Amino acid sequence: MRIVLGVTGGIAAYKAALLLRLMTEDGHEVHVVPTNSALNFVGKATWEALSGQPVYNDTFEAVEEVNHVLQGRQADLVIIAPATANSLAKAATGLADDLIGNILLTATVPVVMAPAMHTEMWENAATKANVATLRGRGVHVIEPAVGRLTGVDTGKGRFPEPDDIWSQTKALLTETPSQGKLEGKRVVISAGGTREALDPVRYLGNRSSGKQGVALALAAARAGADVTLIAGAMDIAPPQHQNIAVVSIESTRDLLDAVLHHAEGKDGLIMAAAVADFRPAAATDEKIKKQDDNSAPTIVLEQTEDVLRTTVEQRDAGQPLPPVIVGFAAETGDAETTPLEYGRSKLQRKGCEILVVNEVGIGKVFGQDDNDATIIFADGSDDVPVQGSKDLVAEEIINQLAGALA
């Protein structure tokens, strides 16, 4: 495999040399592209000695080969490690004022970025927005580690250990469905949470971030499918991909209408959106005001539409809806029943072909970058447990969808 290793100007650049060694020891051809700032920490001679390849860091080097385009075209994988706050910002905006920027614009292969910076920089709103943008485009941004930073301070922002970066990258590449596995297929995916209005200001909703749904849309597009993403309330930007069309919705009723309309005639449907199970029985057109006597209004709730079950029923009644429908079950257990047992019961009630069962709770699944799920099947096939980043979980779900469609 031909790998481009972009090294940007952080003190963690010295650890990138260890990452380089891991990749070459696995037999890969690695071309290191350091920024000028990175060369203040580790020089060209080190990168050339460890990689066995010439090192270019300027757009105007090897001009006769059109090197600034050739590097991206020939790469099978691009890794930016360390990725500074500045490099994340430049990548998010498509800035190409150096060789790494040009490579990122020309590469059509998986891109992995391993951030390293001080905690304040990682937690800054601008950095969060840039990371969300990159992930929305399919870039795999690894979470930084927590630990000792450059100075005496500690916190989140530490460069992940090279072993961790390389193991995550290899897992990502291993789990990726083969090119064309969903070629010619049309898939609808729902993502995010639904919101049920109480008044013009307030709503009843849930903690869904939309990360898993976006990861699914990107995985399906990489596998060759034409994707319609029905997006509710999300913490991240919708993906920007030529094979993904985005439809925005707000309420559960909106979601049901969109699914029945856009899924008609399609091959597969993945219901990853977290539906609000209840809504206020009566919403008001005026904001509910606080009262001087400190009293609070009594809010009566009613159940929302069962989008998954209704879709299956409509299909069974003859509407041309997808032959393979994948549902999601966000469950908590209790003294008598495990989340997986609740999931099996839900699979029977809903009537879909595949169900992805997540155990949820504070700090679990919703809003996180990792997921721990079990994929179960109506036909009695063996359960498929999958754990790791939401990108990896998405790849496995898409793999199971492709297998069912085949």
More confident residue, 280 or 171: 280
Same domain, 349 and 381: yes
* Domain coverage including residue 61: 2-175
Nearest alpha carbon to residue 271 among 229, 303, 237: 229
- Per-residue pLDDT reduced to its tens digit, 33-56: 999 999 999 999 999 999 999 998
Nearest alpha carbon to residue 142 among 176, 169, 105: 169
Contacts for 105 with CB less than 8 Å, ≥ 6 apart: 72, 94, 96
CA distance 305 to 284: 20
* pLDDT, average across residues 108-132: 92
Nearest alpha carbon to residue 41 among 65, 12, 6, 67: 12
Same domain, 154 and 71: yes
Does the pLDDT at position 57 exceed 90? no
| Inside any domain, residue 181 | no
CA distance 372 to 396: 12
DSSP letter string, 45-73: HHHHHHHSS----STTTTGGGTHHHHHHH
| Inside any domain, residue 180 | no
Nearest alpha carbon to residue 142 among 178, 167, 175: 167
CA distance 7 to 22: 15
Q: pLDDT at position 176, please?
A: 53
How many distinct structural domains can be found in the chain? 2
Residue % of the chain over a pLDDT of 70:
95
Residues 114/165, Cβ–Cβ less than 8 Å: yes
Same domain, 43 and 122: yes
CA distance 37 to 6: 12
CA distance 375 to 144: 28
Q: pLDDT at position 365, please?
A: 46
Coil vs helix vs strand at 211: helix
Q: pLDDT at position 362, please?
A: 45
| Inside any domain, residue 260 | yes
Same domain, 30 and 108: yes
Does the pLDDT at position 63 exceed 80? no
Residue 294 pLDDT class (50, 70, 90 cuts): confident
Q: What CATH number is attached to the domain comprising 131?
A: 3.40.50.1950
Nearest alpha carbon to residue 180 among 143, 222, 148: 222
Q: pLDDT at position 236, please?
A: 83
Residue 364 pLDDT class (50, 70, 90 cuts): very low
Residues 304/276, Cβ–Cβ less than 8 Å: yes
Full-prediction pTM beyond 0.85? Answer: no
More confident residue, 108 or 192: 192
Both tokens of 152, joined, read 């005496």
Q: pLDDT at position 43, please?
A: 95
CA distance 308 to 271: 7
Same domain, 36 and 103: yes
Least reliable range by pLDDT among 58-62, 64-68, 148-152, 226-230: 64-68
Residue 174 pLDDT class (50, 70, 90 cuts): low
CA distance 220 to 9: 34
Q: pLDDT at position 265, please?
A: 97
Determine how many CB atoms are found less than 10 A away from the CB of residue 347: 19
| Last residue within a domain, chosen from 175, 207, 229 | 175
Catalogue the active-site residues: 206
Between helix 211-222 and helix 390-405 the angle, nearest 10°, is 50
Residues 297/198, Cβ–Cβ less than 8 Å: no
| Inside any domain, residue 65 | yes
For the chain, give percent helix, strand, coil, nearest 5. 35, 25, 40
Residues 102/74, Cβ–Cβ less than 8 Å: no
Same domain, 225 and 146: no
Residues 240/138, Cβ–Cβ less than 8 Å: no
Does the pLDDT at position 226 exceed 90? yes
Q: pLDDT at position 66, please?
A: 67
| Last residue within a domain, chosen from 125, 145, 175 | 175
| Inside any domain, residue 76 | yes
| Inside any domain, residue 337 | yes
Same domain, 107 and 51: yes
Same domain, 44 and 101: yes
| Inside any domain, residue 259 | yes
Residue % of the chain over a pLDDT of 90:
63
- Per-residue pLDDT reduced to its tens digit, 249-273: 999 999 999 999 999 999 999 999 9
Q: What CATH number is attached to the domain comprising 336?
A: 3.40.50.10300
Q: Give the distance from CA 31 to its chain's centroid.
A: 27
Q: pLDDT at position 201, please?
A: 92
| Last residue within a domain, chosen from 127, 148, 175 | 175
Residue 367 pLDDT class (50, 70, 90 cuts): very low
Same domain, 32 and 147: yes
Residue 144, preceding peptide bond in cis (omega within 30° of 0): no
Same domain, 132 and 196: no
Same domain, 168 and 227: no
What is the dihedral angle through the alpha carbons of 69, 85, 229, 359, rounded to the nearest 10 degrees?
130
Same domain, 197 and 146: no
Least reliable range by pLDDT among 52-61, 90-99, 225-234, 259-268: 52-61
